Amino acid sequence: MKFAIVILAFLFAMNMLAQSKPAADLVITNAKVWTGDKARPTAQAIAVIGDRIVAVGSNAEVDVLRGSTTKVIDARGKLLLPGFNDAHVHFVDGGLQLDSVQLNDTTSTDEFVRRIGEQAKKTPKGEWIQGGDWDETKWSPPNLPTKELIDPVTPDNPAFLSRYDGHAGLANSAALRLAGVTAQTPDPPGGVIVRDAQGNPTGVLKDAAKDLVDRVIPPLSHDQRLRAMRRALEYAASLGVTSVQHMNNDGSKDSFIDIRAYGELLQSGELTTRVYVAPAISDWEDQAKIGIRHAFGSSFLRIGALKSFADGSLGSRTAYFFDPYTDDPTNSGLLGKQMQPLSRIRDWMTQADAAGLQLCTHAIGDRAISTVLDLYTDVVKANRGMERRFRIEHAQHMAAKDFARFAQLDVIASVQPYQAIDDGRWAEARIGHDRASRTYAFRTFLNHGVHLAFGTDWDVAPLNPLLTVYAAVTRATLDGKNPNGWFPEQKLTVEEAVEAYTMGSAYAEFQEREKGSITPGKLADVVLLSDDIFSIDPAKIRDVKVLKTIVGGRLVWDVDRKKQYSTAN
Ligand SMILES: [Zn+2]
């Protein structure tokens, strides 16, 4: 009898113990944890229940949460970081690019034709073959390609393959037929139909002549869009990107179609990257009329932002500056279409802000940035007391006077450091030393107390976050000419770069309480890296690999198994 009471008391005690310490679903142990949380900057282990982090501490502290059903990952001393949050992507374009034919590095027409033939074999009959980025100057002789080269390998598909600069494309005969382009078609204004000695089109269409084919290419089908998203999700998981902020393209209506497709993937458990979508400002009423405010939605899919465009790009000399381009004295760039007239965009922005929507505006040249700051100033005056987080996307070339205004209006600089090592090869020739000194000026932004959010603008630049961290930390241009950094005074530390990519990007989407650091209570979005980027030579950061990616407590990428997982099980 006495014995039974002891047993009962023992079982009762065990039960109490079990109740006070519920078992974790996942424990990651023996890690070098960089938390991004000032309250506890480093740790050895974390525990996860459901999709949330419940404990961060030493191996021993976290070990007490280990139960019989707990999945344990031994990190073997590797670095564990909060997941990367890419604050500016074109996710569907990126997914399409992954599956399109790559021609830029072909060194002969034979190779060019062979790759197009391979692409044709895996493309469903009748579907367009696009992409390419060919560059005939890499071939000998460096002649423009012709439709006769590619017709035999593309019997069942129209093809329109772009030159790397976007100023020309090669159509096959099927594409020309669909476009109705014949020997009788006149060159359109601003364009050239390249012709042979008999006057027949060769397939190459330059500038405005490209529109003749572009306009007959059908919009993406639902299946193509889903396929592109699945490819992009898989790729993001493999790179440790656990959240993306999906930016509208040029005022198109596609963002709403994209949201619908993301919604389907969410429902089927396939959405393994968290997405925040910014449709076009011109459609602001579509969100406002049903009461959508900034960051509305679930942890995996949010809307409530708006994307505007104030100018073009430095590469195409359409970025809008106060002074002319140094190497083109009659050109100062162009104020974007959406900004004309300014009264209309001011009206849209003011009403959208009053509705609680978040404004994200593409501005690259100093005058475009200044113009957006003027507009934001007007919005603040019109709508007092709103909780808002203005953003300027790119914020590439700053006027000296505008750093302080940026800070004062509390505008987030949503920047893409990879561009600094890419454009840095030629930007100074185009805009001169003085303006180049305030280009991708990440250090100056931080010195002024401006919030930085990091991203890539994928598919314009590579999605790999480690390449972006490398770029921000080294500023070593891709041509190898600035090994100690292009405007090295603007370099960031690795900690600052990772913080901009995690907490900074989370702040830019109103999610800093939900993610961005490894903190108990936050979403369990973490990445395990092959090397400690805080201690290795910064030049090697670009080669670091992602070993595991975990989103909401679930493993979505494991380098050992080279496979991606869905979040449904
Ligand atoms: Zn973009």
Ligand 1 mean position, distance from CA 416 (Å): 10
58 neighbors 37 (Cβ within 8 angstroms): no
Cα of 299 vs centre of ligand 1, distance in Å, is 23
What is the Å distance from ligand 1's center to 429 Cα?
Answer: 24
E-strand ranges in 31-183 read 32-34, 42-43, 45-49, 52-57, 71-74, 79-82, 84-89, 101-102, 129-134, 159-163, 168-171
Judged against a pLDDT cut of 80, whether residue 569 lies above it is answered with: no
Percent of the chain with pLDDT over 70: 95
Q: Nearest CA to 134 among 114, 155, 151, 154?
A: 114
From ligand 1's centre to the CA of 503, what distance in Å?
A: 21
* Centroid of ligand 1 to alpha carbon of 540 (angstroms): 27
Nearest CA to 338 out of 313, 358, 312 is that of 312
Phi, psi of 327 (to 5 degrees): -100, 15
Confidence of residue 12 (pLDDT cuts 50, 70, 90): low
- State in Å: Cα 182 to ligand 1 middle: 36
Residue 131: pLDDT over 50: yes
Distance from the alpha carbon of residue 403 to the mean position of ligand 1, in angstroms: 22
Q: Which two tokens stand for residue 117?
A: 């033939």
Average pLDDT, the chain: 93
How much is the pLDDT for 190?
85
Distance, CA of 75 to CA of 285 (rounded, Å): 48
pLDDT of 568 > 80? The answer is no
Q: What is the pLDDT of residues 409-458, one digit of tens each?
A: 999 999 999 999 999 999 999 999 999 999 999 999 999 999 999 999 99
Q: Which of 157, 175, 266, 182 is nearest to 214 (CA)?
A: 175
**pTM for the whole structure:** 0.90
CA-to-CA distance for 252 and 256, rounded, in angstroms? 9
Q: Calculate how far, in angstroms, residue 88's C-alpha sits from the geometric centre of ligand 1.
A: 6
CA of 171 to the centre of ligand 1 (A): 27
As beta bridge partners, residue 170 has 161, 204
Summarised one tens digit per residue, pLDDT across range 133-187 is 898 988 999 999 999 999 999 999 999 999 887 788 999 999 999 999 999 999 9
CA of 251 to the centre of ligand 1 (A): 12
Confidence of residue 492 (pLDDT cuts 50, 70, 90): very high
Res. 253 pLDDT band, cuts 50 70 90: confident
At residue 262, φ and ψ (nearest 5 deg) are -60, -40
Q: How far is the CA of 336 from the centre of ligand 1 (A)?
A: 14
> What φ, ψ does residue 176 adopt, rounded to 5°?
-65, -40
Q: CB of 517 within 8 A of CB of 502?
A: yes
Confidence at residue 20, expressed as pLDDT on a 0 to 100 scale: 60
Whether residue 565 contacts residue 272, with contact meaning beta carbons closer than 8 Å, is answered with yes
18 has pLDDT over 70: no
Element at 302 (helix H, strand E)? strand 301-303
Residue 393 C-alpha to ligand 1 middle, in angstroms? 8
- Written as one letter, the residue type at 28 is I
